[in-house]
Amino acid sequence: MLPMMSNEGYQDRILTCRDCGQDFIFSAGEQEFYASRGLTNTPGRCPSCRAARRGRQSSTSHASSYTPRNSGEHYETTCATCGRPTSVPFIPREDRPVYCNDCFQAQRASRGSRSSYGGSSYSGGQGNRDRRDRRDHRHSDW
């Protein structure tokens, strides 16, 4: 015979979802689970609204993990190699060359696989790292 979980002291409660306004049951078992985890607040959303909210948060966090800025802005500039107009997802700087996609791929292929960023599409990643390393060593005798 399987041991029964005790829900002593807990009774099913009817709560109203703050998102959809529907009533839902906060069961005695859920209350005991919440208490066992040290959670003191009752849920404000029904199970379906909680699941929808988790889904939205998950997709937002995935999107932001793929792009450094999730703004979607692109900046028009001129390729430093071929001179064609190109659009990039970062603000071009005067002291750094910016390449169109074709020229960037050619630059990356000619450099080999020296970059520790595993195929990052940002052309200046390794150079920035070198500057940081030099700066750190320059000030290491402070």
pLDDT in tens, the chain (142 residues): 444 455 678 999 999 999 999 999 999 999 999 999 998 999 999 999 988 888 887 766 555 444 444 457 888 889 999 999 988 888 888 888 988 989 989 988 888 755 444 444 444 444 444 444 444 444 444 4
3-state secondary structure of 95: coil
Q: Where are the alpha helices (DSSP H) in the chain?
A: 28-36, 47-66, 101-111, 125-138
3-state secondary structure of 89: coil
Q: State the Cα angle at 60 between 59 and 63, rounded to 5°.
A: 85
Tokens of 39: 């959670």
* Residue 33 to residue 120: CA distance in whole angstroms: 44
pLDDT of residue 17: 94
3-state secondary structure of 140: coil
* Residue 119 to residue 79: CA distance in whole angstroms: 20
| Nearby residues of 5 by Cβ (< 8 Å), 6 or more positions away | 29, 32
**Residue whose entry in the numeric block shows the structure tokens 């529907």:** 22
3-state secondary structure of 7: coil
